[in-house]
């Protein structure tokens, strides 16, 4: 885990963010920052606004007020594809892959936002178009090796196990060359072995690829093991912020999780 951030390393800054759906307040005057090479956890009970926050950051939702700045640039008014080109990539709580394509094809599809050749040059596939294809293929092959997907690289994604598909989705997010990675419950539905594998890969992304991340996750054992800091939401409001060890001892956090004790059980208890 990274512990050497400074004010100069600010990656993302969220200020006074408000999001409502009719009379429902999803995010309420929310403020937080992500620092360089930091793995920030967003935690909270079901319905706390965690996924809504990620949807605001990558442009799926448009907040009614407040600002989101990425490397000093306001991104909250931008469209999702523009934000993706700036370097914000994400995985989804429900797997969003092309299930009829193989692993290699899914990862290559994520390189589309970086491809500069037009449809005509791409269709005849020689000269500059072929050289560009090779460059993107090299990036994807590196990710396949990094995530240990070589044995399944040519398998159709729909035939893979759930845990492997989650890993493919992480690979697709990495294939977009992110400067910030948003992970929405990357371990939901996994068994213990699959969770351990995914936690290892996430730490490798942080330590070897040096990509800052925001992770939404319910498993507090995982958060305690991998996160640098945690922001706790309840009904769209921030009720605590600090190291994972600090927030699990916070009285407001404990109160918010009453009735959901399993989510805050850790191996140390």
User: What are the chain's domains?
Assistant: 1-87+178-269 (3.40.50.300), 97-177 (no CATH)
pTM score: 0.86
φ and ψ of 102, to 5 deg: -85, 180
Model pLDDT, residue 124: 46
3-class SS of residue 32: strand
Model pLDDT, residue 137: 87
How many Cβ atoms are within 10 Å of 255's Cβ, its own excluded?
10
Model pLDDT, residue 267: 42
Q: What token pair was written down for 163? A: 């845990």
**C-beta separation of 155 from 100 below 8 A:** no
Using only C-alpha atoms, what is the Rg of the chain? 19
CA 237, CA 30: separation in Å to the nearest integer?
A: 6
Query: In this structure, what DSSP letter does residue 218 have?
Result: S
Q: What length is written for the chain?
A: 269
**pLDDT tens figures, 213-266:** 999 988 888 999 999 999 999 999 999 999 999 998 998 888 887 545 444 544
CA 249, CA 44: separation in Å to the nearest integer?
A: 14
Model pLDDT, residue 120: 39
**pLDDT tens figures, 4-52:** 444 458 999 999 999 999 889 999 999 999 998 899 999 998 889 999 9
Q: Across the beta sheet with 213-216, what order do the strands follow?
A: 88-90, 180-184, 213-216, 39-43, 229-234, 237-242
């Amino acid at each position: 885990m990274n512990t050497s951030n400074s004010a100069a390393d600010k990656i993302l800054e969220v200020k006074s963010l408000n999001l409502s759906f009719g009379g429902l307040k999803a995010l309420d005057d929310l403020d937080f920052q992500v620092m360089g090479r930091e793995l920030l956890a967003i935690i909270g009970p079901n319905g706390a606004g965690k996924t809504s926050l990620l949807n605001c950051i990558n442009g799926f939702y448009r907040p009614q007020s407040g600002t989101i700045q990425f490397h000093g640039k306001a991104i909250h008014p931008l469209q999702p594809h523009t934000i993706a080109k700036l370097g914000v990539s994400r995985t989804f709580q429900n797997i969003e892959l092309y299930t009829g394509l193989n692993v290699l094809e899914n990862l290559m599809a994520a390189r589309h936002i970086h491809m500069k050749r037009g449809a005509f040059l791409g269709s005849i596939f020689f000269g500059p178009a072929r050289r560009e294809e090779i460059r993107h293929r090299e990036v994807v092959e590196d990710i396949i090796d990094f995530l240990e997907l070589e044995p399944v690289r040519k398998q159709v994604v729909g035939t893979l196990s759930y845990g492997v598909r989650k890993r493919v989705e992480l690979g697709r997010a990495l294939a977009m060359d992110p400067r910030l990675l948003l992970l929405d419950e990357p371990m939901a539905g996994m068994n213990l072995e699959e969770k351990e594998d995914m936690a290892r890969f996430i730490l490798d992304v942080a330590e070897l690829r040096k990509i800052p991340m925001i992770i939404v996750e319910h498993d507090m054992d995982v958060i305690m093991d991998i996160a640098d800091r945690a922001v706790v939401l309840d009904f769209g409001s921030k009720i605590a912020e600090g190291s994972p060890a600090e927030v699990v001892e916070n009285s407001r956090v404990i109160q918010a999780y009453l009735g959901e004790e399993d989510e805050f059980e850790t191996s140390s208890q």
